[in-house]
């Protein structure tokens, strides 16, 4: 019998804690993934040396980042995954600085080449009293095709902060596991019909009307981006002809 490699889900933890509330909620989602036969690899952002983006645009010209740290190795791990469960506590309405720094380093190449186009993702967010669903939704959208999102708060007036593992809505673990199962199902049948998401409509409209034409009209600035767009079949013939003509004039 042919051996079928299990789907690989990367659990990207943006929390500074490896056993905190965010990881608890992520674990419930991952239990649903494992029920469907997926394998899981944990990546804690605090374990990696990820420095601030310098805004040099070298990645768009060469495909590489000149900063010598763990970023490129971590990016390769992410690109090798079939799907993601990304988690972060809410800090002032945003992800942690650790996760935001990684997202900043990914952002330019991700914008122009749709870096995680084939992956599906689930966003997870926790907080004391702040809203969580918006951040969870945004994390899922950034790291691929959003399969689902879930959030939980952990503080009450009567008891203050309490560990999510011990005090939570009794239905929360089952809801999280269901989302994990849906994530694996989406990866297994990636082309089934889904209603378009508002963020996706806005992103693709911007990308087709502005981002792609700008890259094609400025090939020297985007020399590493254009071959990737072409490889994905997203570079129209009119742009290919223009690039060929530019190259001919240079020679």
* Every domain of the chain and the residues it spans: 8-194, 199-250
Q: In the block, which residue shows the tokens 């809801």?
A: 175
The 10s digit of each residue's pLDDT in 212-235 is 999 999 999 999 999 999 999 999
- Entry pTM: 0.92
Q: CA distances (Å), 124 to each of 81, 84, 87, 114, in order? A: 18, 10, 4, 21
State the pairing for strand pair 145-153/155-156: unpaired
Which residues in the chain land under pLDDT 70? Answer: 1-5, 245-251
Give the span between the Cα atoms of 147 and 142, in whole angstroms: 12
Give the span between the Cα atoms of 123 and 127, in whole angstroms: 14
pLDDT at position 247 is 62
Third-level CATH fold of 8-194: Rossmann fold (3.40.50)
pLDDT at position 246 is 65
The 10 Å Cβ neighbour count of residue 107 is 15
Q: In the block, which residue shows the tokens 């309490």?
A: 162
């Amino acid at each position: 019998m042919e051996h079928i490699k299990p789907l690989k889900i990367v659990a990207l933890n943006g929390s500074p804690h490896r056993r905190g509330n965010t990881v608890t909620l992520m674990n419930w989602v991952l239990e649903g993934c494992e029920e469907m036969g997926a394998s899981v690899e944990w990546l804690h952002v605090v374990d990696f040396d990820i420095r601030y983006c310098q805004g040099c645009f070298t990645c768009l010209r060469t495909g590489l980042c000149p900063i010598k740290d763990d970023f490129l190795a971590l990016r390769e791990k992410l690109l090798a995954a079939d799907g993601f469960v990304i988690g972060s506590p809410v800090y002032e309405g945003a992800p942690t600085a650790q996760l935001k720094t990684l997202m900043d380093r990914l952002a330019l190449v991700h914008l122009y080449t749709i870096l995680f186009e084939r992956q599906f993702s689930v966003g997870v967010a926790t907080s004391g009293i702040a809203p969580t669903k918006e951040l969870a939704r945004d994390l899922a959208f950034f790291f691929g095709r959003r399969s689902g999102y879930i959030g939980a708060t952990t503080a009450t007036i009567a008891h203050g902060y309490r560990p999510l593992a011990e005090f939570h809505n009794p239905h929360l673990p089952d809801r999280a596991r269901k989302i994990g199962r849906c994530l694996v199902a989406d990866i297994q049948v990636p082309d089934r019909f889904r209603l378009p998401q508002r963020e996706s409509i806005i992103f693709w409209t911007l990308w087709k009307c502005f981002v792609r034409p700008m890259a094609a009209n400025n090939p020297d600035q985007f020399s590493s981006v254009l071959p990737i767009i072409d490889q994905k079949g997203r570079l129209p013939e009119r742009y290919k002809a223009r690039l060929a003509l530019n190259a001919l004039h240079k020679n």
